[in-house]
């Protein structure tokens, strides 16, 4: 049975005293309300949104009214809210910009089926990495993590792979491991019940690095299997994708 073992990173600090003059605080508050919605939320009320964002209920009420008027939220008869069609349209637009995704679909699904573990595409989201696309094994249980979940940047395999692929960071040890093995491993790095590996990927030259992640409950994916089987298979699958998009 799948388990909910995902954690959400804290929402970004909105301390206006430390912000640039160009920073639009009202816009930031509205975006923060939308960021407060989590995968699996059927709907959320103003009181819970105020708790999640740390903003006063009166401020949240103004934000939800405005966002609903613009189609970014949808108000239900229960006086609660869910993300609206304008957010969905932005999501489709963003995904369309990942031109390699159609080529990734079949090979990543095949990998998930072969190793019996969750495979995910991750991208950096501030001090976290967000799961952007997930592939689940069709004949086995897998991690409960789904699109939209955020994992810690510095302690998850995907986050470390993204940092190691960025020459501006000082992730020397992880960069050396990538040179030797072609993948990074995490044994309970962000959650003691999860083992995972990750491989960085750049969609086009000059763009921010992404990462492909493969992980499972530690009881289902031990260290030897991760190092000797799953990690190399993920590395080789990402290499196949690079060939498919003409990067090699």
Position 206 scores a pLDDT of 81
Taking the C-alpha atoms of residue 23 and residue 73, their distance in angstroms, rounded to an integer, is 23
| Burial group, residue 182, by CB count within 10 angstroms (0-12, 13-18, 19+) | middle
User: Taking 60 as the threshold, does the pLDDT of residue 4 lie above it?
Assistant: no
Helix axis angle, 46-53 to 25-35, nearest 10°: 110
User: Taking 90 as the threshold, does the pLDDT of residue 246 lie above it?
Assistant: no
- Report the first-to-last Cα separation within the chain, whole angstroms: 39
Q: Which domains does the chain have, with CATH numbers?
A: 16-84 (1.10.10.10), 98-244 (3.30.450.40)
User: Taking 60 as the threshold, does the pLDDT of residue 120 lie above it?
Assistant: yes
User: What is the DSSP track for 5-48?
Assistant: ---PPPPPP--GGGS-TT--HHHHHHHHHHHT--TT-S-B-HHH
* Res. 248 pLDDT band, cuts 50 70 90: low
Taking the C-alpha atoms of residue 5 and residue 166, their distance in angstroms, rounded to an integer, is 28
pLDDT per residue as tens digits for the range 193-228: 999 999 999 988 788 899 999 999 999 999 999 999
pLDDT per residue as tens digits for the range 68-114: 999 999 999 999 999 998 888 887 777 666 889 999 999 999 999 99
Choose the weakest-confidence range: 1-5, 128-132, 228-232: 1-5
* Res. 15 pLDDT band, cuts 50 70 90: low
Contact 210, 200 (CB under 8 A): yes
Of these ranges, 25-39, 127-141, 228-242, the one predicted with the greatest mean pLDDT is 228-242
Position 90 scores a pLDDT of 81
pLDDT per residue as tens digits for the range 133-187: 999 999 888 888 888 888 999 999 999 999 999 988 999 999 999 999 999 999 9
User: Taking 60 as the threshold, does the pLDDT of residue 238 lie above it?
Assistant: yes
Q: Which of 235, 237, 244, 220 is nearest to 2 (CA)?
A: 220
Position 11 scores a pLDDT of 58
Taking the C-alpha atoms of residue 78 and residue 63, their distance in angstroms, rounded to an integer, is 18
Position 14 scores a pLDDT of 60
Position 117 scores a pLDDT of 96
């Amino acid at each position: 049975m799948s388990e909910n073992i995902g954690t959400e990173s804290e929402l970004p600090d909105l301390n206006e005293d430390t912000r640039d003059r160009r920073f639009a605080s009202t816009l930031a508050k509205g975006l923060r309300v939308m960021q407060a919605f989590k995968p699996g939320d059927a709907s959320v009320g103003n009181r819970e949104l105020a708790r999640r964002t740390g903003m006063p209920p009166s401020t949240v009420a103004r934000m939800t009214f405005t966002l609903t008027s613009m189609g970014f939220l949808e108000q239900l008869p229960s006086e609660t809210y869910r993300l609206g069609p304008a957010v969905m349209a932005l999501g489709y637009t963003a995904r369309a910009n990942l031109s390699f995704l159609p080529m990734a679909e079949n090979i990543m699904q095949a990998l998930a089926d072969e190793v019996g573990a969750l495979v995910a595409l991750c991208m950096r989201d501030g001090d976290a990495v967000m799961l952007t696309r997930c592939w689940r094994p069709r004949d086995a249980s897998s991690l409960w993590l789904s699109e939209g979940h955020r994992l810690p940047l510095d302690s998850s395999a995907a986050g470390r792979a993204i940092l190691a692929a960025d020459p501006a960071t000082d992730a020397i040890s992880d960069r050396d491991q990538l040179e030797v093995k072609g993948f990074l491993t995490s044994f309970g790095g962000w959650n003691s019940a999860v083992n995972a590996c990750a491989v960085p990927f750049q969609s086009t030259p000059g763009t921010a690095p992404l990462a492909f992640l493969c992980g499972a409950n530690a009881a289902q994916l031990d260290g030897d299997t991760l190092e000797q089987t799953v990690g190399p298979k993920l590395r080789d699958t990402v290499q196949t994708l690079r060939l498919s998009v003409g990067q090699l």
